[in-house]
Structure 1
C-alpha cells in the first residue's frame, strides 16, 4: 500500500477494495464488475496475504456454486428441483404478462421466464421491471402440481448498497486534496493515475459526467479498444448500455400500449454503443429524443419528465488530422443520418476519444479504490438530490460568442466536475478556471463541426471564451483543430448558384454576420430539406389498382412486396382470414406482422379468423396472445376476434386500399425439406396458384 491507500482505508474503511484482486478474477469470469466487488468486499476485506488468498478462493467458490452460466441452466434448475431451493447470482427481470394477469420473474442465465415473484420485490426495486437487476436470489421449487409454475422467488437481495450516507462521503472527501481525489476516483474505476497525464485524467473523469448530472448529453467518438463503453456497461448499476440495434420511442421513451415510461424513466444514464449502427424506425423517435435532450421532458399523449442522461459512443474510421483538415468530413461523420444538426447542438460535451490510450494492463491499478457500488451510489445521490448549476451560474463569466446552448452545455460540464471532485464545495479559483476551460473546449468541438456542416453562419461563433479574474477574455481552442483552416474557416457553398455546387470565391470570416435576405429570396436550409428518399416518396404517384394471378410454382412474392406500396400513411390494418389456425398459418401471420410493422405509422392491427371442430382454441389463443405481447413491445396494438362462421379473405387498410388474396395468407407451397432455400425468405418460396385483387374501396374489382 502507498500513502494514498492507507489514508483512503483510514477514512473509508469497509468501502474500499484492492483493484488488482478484481483484475485477477475478472480475466477468468464474465461477471459484471460490481458483482465481483460485492463478493470481494465480503470475503477479501483484509491486508493479510493468507486471508486475501482464502478470500479469493471463497469468491471463486461462490461464483462456481452460485453464479449461473448460460450453458448450465438445466443443471441449475435441477439443483432447485432436487434440493427444494438454491441461491443464485443472476440478473433478474420482471415482466407483466397480460394474458395471465400477473407478474413473472425471469432469470437471465437460469433460463426460465415463468418464476413466481411477490409484489414487494419489484415494488422496492423498479429496475426489475425495466432492464433487470443483478441480485442474489433464492429460487424455491413449487411442489403444487396444479399451479402453472415450477419455481418461485423466496428471497432477493440486490447487489448494491442498501443505504448511503452522503454527509459521511463529503466528510471523507474533505481529508484529501483535489488531485489526490482525482487519483482515488481513477483507481476506483480500475486505472492507475501515476501513468496518466493530467489531461488524460480529466478525460477519464469526464466519462463519468452522465452518471452524476441529470440530462447531460455526452458524446465520445474515437478509435476502437479505448474502453468507451465500459463506464456505462459495468461501472454503475444505474446505467444501461444499448448496443446498436433499433432505437424505438416505445423502448426509450413511452409505450402507449402499456402506458409505461421507457428506459429514460428507470436509469440515470442511457448509453448507446456503436452509435453509427443505430437504426431509427421513424422520425418521431428523433423528434422525441430532441425534446428530451433539450429539457428532460417530452409528450406522447402524456407529459413525461425524467432525469436520465444520454451518452453516445462510437468509432472514427478516419484519422483526426484527416478530418479536421478536410473540407468534406467532420468529427460527427460516424453518426446516423437521422442525427441532424438539431441533435448535435444538444451535446454538452464532445470527448476527444482519439486522445484516449488503448486498453492495456499497464494502465490497470494494483492499489485500493472505492467499491464500485459505493461510488455509484454517491453519483446516483448527486444526480437525484444535488444541483450545482446555480452555483456555477453565479461564478462563471462567459464571452460574447457563447450562445444559449453553448452556455447550458458549459455550465452543466462545470457542475459535473464540481459534483465528482468537490461534492461538498471548496473549489479554488484556479481549479474552477481549469474546469471552465475544459468545458468550453469540449463544447467548442461540437460547434466547430456544426459550423462545418452548415452552409451559412448560424453556428459561426466558434471562438467561445470566458472572462478570468483579471477581466481578460480568454478564447479556448481545441488542440486538434486550432491550426486547421478547413475547420476554423470552412469554405461556404454558394446556395444561390445555378448549379448549387460551386464554392464562393472567398472564405467568410467565422465570426462575420451576414444580413438576412428578403423573405421572398430565402432558400430552405440544407438540413431542413427532406432527404432524397423522402423526396422520391413525396413525388411518387399513388400506386395503381391491380388484378392478377400468381401462377403455381412462381417465386418472387412476399407479403412485403405485395403490401408495402399500399401502406403509405396507414395507421390501422384489418385482416380477415378464416385459416389462421395451424402452426404454419400462425407463422404466416407473424410474417405478415413483420412486413406491416416496417411502416412506421402503423399503430393497430386487427385480426379476424375462424376455427373448426379440430381447432384447439386454447392453444390458438395462447399463440396469438404471444404475438400480441411482442407487438405491444413495438407500441402496436393487436385486436383478435375468432369467429366460427368467417369465410372471407380480405385485408383492409385505413388509407382506403383493400387487398384480396384468394388463398389468404396461406399462398405458399409446403417446402420439400425444412433445410432447403426458400424456407425462411418468402421471396424465394414457391407459391400456390391464387388471384390477387387490390383496389380502392370506393371502386370494386373490375371497375377501376
Structure 2
C-alpha cells in the first residue's frame, strides 16, 4: 500500500477494493466487472494476505456454484428441479407477454424465458423491464402440474448498493487534493496513473462524462484495442451498450404499439459500439435522435422527456495524419451516412481516441480503488440530482467565435468534469482554466470536421477561444490538426462550376503530403489526383471483437460471416450443441450461408452429444443435410468429440470466428408465424460475445 492507498482505505473504508484481485479473477471468467467486485468486496475486504487469499477462493467457489455459464443451463435447471430451490447469479429480464396477460422473467444464462416473477420485483426495479439487471436470484421449482411454468423467482437481490450517501462521498472527496482524486478515479477504473501523462489521464476521465451529465452527447473514434466500449458495457450498471445491428425508434425512444418508452428512459447512458455498423432504416429514427440529442425530449404521439446521454464509439481505418491533411476525408468518416451535419453539431465533445494507449497489462494497477458499483452509484446520483451547469455559466467567459451549440457543448463538458473531479466544491482558477481549455478543444474537433464537410462558411468560425482567469483571450487548437492546412482552411467547391472546381485560387496543394524526417517532400498533387488514387482502394477486412446484446436484431449468419468467407474452400465448425432439432436447423441455415459462396467445397462439423440426445434422430437429420450438400458438390464431414467444449469456426483463408454461444444465439420466437421466425436477421438474439480474428 502506498500513501494514496492508506488515505483512501482510511477515508472510504469498506468501499474500496484492490484492483489487482479483479485482474486475477477477470482473466478467467466472463462475468461483468461490477459483479466480480461485488463479490470481492464481500469476501476480500481486508489487507491481510491470508484473508485475501481465502476470500479469493470464496469468490471463485461462489462463481463455480452460483454463476450460471451459458453452456451449463441444463445442469442449472436440474439443480433447481432436484433440490427444490437454488441461488444463482445471472442477468434477469422481465417481459410482458400480451397473449398471456402477465409478466414473465427471462434468465439469460439459466436459459429459461418463462419464469414466474412477483410484481414487487419489477415494480421496485424498473430496469428489469428494459435491458435487464444482474442479480442474485433464488429460483424455486414449481411442482403444481396445472400451472404453466416450471420455475419461479422466490427472491431477487440486485447487484447494486441498496443505499448511497452522497454527502459522505463529498465529505470524503474534500480530504484529497485534485491530483490525488484524479488518481483515485483512474485506479478505480483499473489503471495505474503513474504510467499515464496528465493529458491521457484527462482523456480517460472524459470517457466517464456521459455517466454524470444528463443529455450529454459524446463521440470517440480511434484505433482498435484501446478499451473504448469497456466503460459503457462493464463499468456501470446504469449504462447499456448497443453493438451493431439495427437502431430502431421503438427500441431507442418509444414503442407506440406497446406504449412503452425505449432505452433512453431506463439508462443513464446509451452507447453505440462500432457506430459505423449501425443500420438505420427508418428516417424517423434520425429525426427523433436529433430532437433528443438537442434537448432531451421528443414527441411520438406523446411528449417524452429523458435524461439519458448518448455516446458513440468506433474505429478509424486511416491514420489521423492522412485524414487531417486530406481534402477528401474527415474525422467523422466512419459514421453511418444517415448521420448528417445536424447530428454531428449536437456532439459536445470528440475524444481523440488515437491518443489513447493500447490495452496492456503494464497500465493496470495493483493498488486500491473504489468498488466500481460504489463509484457508479455516485455518478448516477450526480446525473439525476446535481446541476453544475449554472455554476459554470456564471464563471466561464468564451470568445467571439463560440456560437450557440459550441457554448452549450463546452459548458456541459466543464460541468461534467466538475462533477467527477470536484463533487464537493469549486476548482481553483488554474484548474478551471484547464477544464475550459480541454472542453473547448473537444468541441473544436467537432466543428473543424463539420467545416470540412460544408460547402459554405456556416461552420467556418473554428478558432474557438476563452478568456482565462488572467483576462487573456486564448485560442485553443487541436494538436493533430493545428498545422494541417486542409483542415484549417478547407477548399470550398464552386457549386456552379460543372466540374466542382474550387473557388480558391491559391497554389497550395489540396492535399499536403505527409512525410517523415528521412523523406523528401512529395510532389504537389491536386484533389482530383488524390481522389482518383484513393477510389480504387477496397477496405481490408478487419478483426472484430464485440458483444451482441440481449434482444438485439440484425445478426444473421450471413451478415456476420459472409465478408470473411471470400475465397474460402473449406470451413471447420466446432460446436458441441448441434444435436437438438432447433440447433440442427440453425446449422442448416449456417450451411446455406456457406453455399452462397461459390468456392466452398468442404464443411466439417465437430460436435458432441449427451445421454439425453436422440442419436438416431440426430444422425438422420444430419445425413439428410449431407445428401443435400452433395447435390451442390459440397462434402459434409461429421465428427464426434465427447470432450468438446469450445465453439469456433475456422476458415481455410485464415479467419477464425468465435461466438460465445456457438450458432445457437437466437431467442425462440414467440410465435412461428411472427416476424423473425424464418429470417434470422429479424429474430431477437441472446447476449453473446463475438470474436473474429486471423489465426
TM bucket (normalised to shorter chain) is 0.7 to 0.9
1:170 alignment counterpart: 170
CA-to-partner distance for each residue in 1:150-202, whole Å, 9 max, x for gaps? 00000000001010000000000000000000000000010000000000000
**Runs of 4+ displaced beyond 4 Å:** 622-631
Q: Give 5+ residue unaligned stretches, structure 2.
A: 509-584, 590-667, 683-695
Tell me how far 1:470 sits from its aligned partner. Answer: 2.6
How far residue 627 of structure 1 moved from its aligned partner, in angstroms, is 4.5
Which whole-Å deviations, capped at 9, do the CAs of 1:253-294 have from their partners, x for residues lacking one? 000000000000000000000000000021100000000000
- Count residues in correspondence: 524
> Aligned pair 1:312/2:279, yes or no?
no
Partner of 2:502 in structure 1?
503
Q: Aligned in 2, Cα 1:439/1:507: closer, same or farther, shift over 3 Å?
A: farther
Indicate the residue corresponding to 2:230 in structure 1: 230
1:659 alignment counterpart: none
How much does 1:625 deviate? 5.2
Query: What does residue 603 of structure 2 align with?
Result: none
8 Å CA contact 1:490–1:507 kept in 2: the answer is no
Question: Aligned-pair distance for 1:87?
Answer: 0.2
Q: Render the CA deviation track for 1:455-497: whole Å, top value 9, x for unaligned.
A: 0000000000001223221000000000000000001101121
Q: Deviations over 1:496-534 (max 9, x none)?
A: 21x15111233699xxxxxxxxxxxxxxxxxxxxxxxxx
**1:417 corresponds to:** 417
Matched, 1:69 2:57: no
Q: 1:624 Cα shift? A: 8.3
Corresponding residue for 1:343?
343
Contact 1:493/1:500 (8 A) holds in 2: no
Query: How big is each residue's C-alpha offset from its partner over 1:66-94, in whole Å with a ceiling of 9 and x where there is no partner?
Result: 00001100000000000000000000000
Question: Does the 8 Å CA contact 1:491/1:507 hold for their aligned counterparts?
Answer: no
- 1:231 to 1:507, Cα distance in 2 relative to 1, 3 A: farther
Q: TM-score, normalised by structure 2?
A: 0.74
Q: Which residue of 2 is the match for residue 408 of structure 1?
A: 408
SS of 1:246's equivalent in the other structure is: coil
Map residues 355-374 of structure 1 onto 2, 5 A cutoff.
Answer: 355-374=355-374
In structure 2, the residue matched to 1:97 is 97
Alignment of 1:511-526 (within 5 A): none
Once the two structures are superposed, what CA deviation does each residue of 1:430-466 show, in whole Å capped at 9, x if it has no partner?
0000000000000000000000000000000000000
Residue number in structure 2 paired with 1:2: 2
1:8-157 matched pairs, under 5 angstroms = 8-157=8-157
C-alpha separation in 2, matches of 1:235 and 1:623: 32
Q: How does 1:408-487 map to 2 (within 5 A)?
A: 408-487=408-487
Q: Distance in 2 between matches of 1:330 and 1:287?
A: 23
Give yes or no for contact 1:243–1:272 (8 Å, CA) kept in 2.
yes
Map 1:525-564 → 2, pairs under 5 A = none
Q: Are 2:330 and 2:452, in contact at CA under 8 Å, matched by a contact in 1?
A: yes
Could you report, residue by residue, the CA deviation over 1:364-423 in whole angstroms, capped at 9, with x for unpaired residues? Answer: 000000000000000000000000000000000000000000000000000001000000
Match for residue 250 of structure 2? 250
Q: Does the Cα contact within 8 Å between 2:492 and 2:504 map onto a contact in 1?
A: no
CA–CA separation in structure 1 for the residues paired with 2:223 and 2:270? 21
Q: Cα–Cα, structure 1 residues 148 and 399, in superposed 2: closer, same or farther, change >3 Å? A: same
CA distance in 1 between partners of 2:279 and 2:398 (Å): 38
Give the secondary structure class of the aligned counterpart of 2:235.
coil
- Structure with greater Cα Rg: 1
DSSP-derived class of the 2:310 partner:
strand
**In 2, Cα distance between equivalents of 1:106 and 1:626:** 19
Counterpart contact for 1:492–1:507, Cα < 8 Å? no
- C-alpha contact 2:270 2:310 (8 A) present in aligned 1: yes
* TM-score w.r.t. length of structure 1: 0.73
Give deviations 1:204-255, integer Å, cap 9, x for gaps: 0000000000000000000000000000000000000000110000000000
Partners of 2:430 and 2:469 within 8 A in 1: no
CA distance in 2 between counterparts of 1:336 and 1:359 reads: 26
In the superposition, relative to structure 1, how do residues 338 and 623 fare at CA in structure 2: closer, same or farther (>3 Å)? Answer: closer
Which residue number in structure 1 is paired with residue 638 of structure 2? Answer: none
Q: What residue number does 2:221 align with? A: 221
State the secondary structure of the residue aligned to 1:298.
strand
Residue 294 of structure 2 corresponds to: 294
In structure 2, relative to structure 1, the CA distance for the partners of 1:460 and 1:23 (3 Å cut) is: same
Q: Is the 8 A contact 1:12 1:172 kept in 2?
A: yes
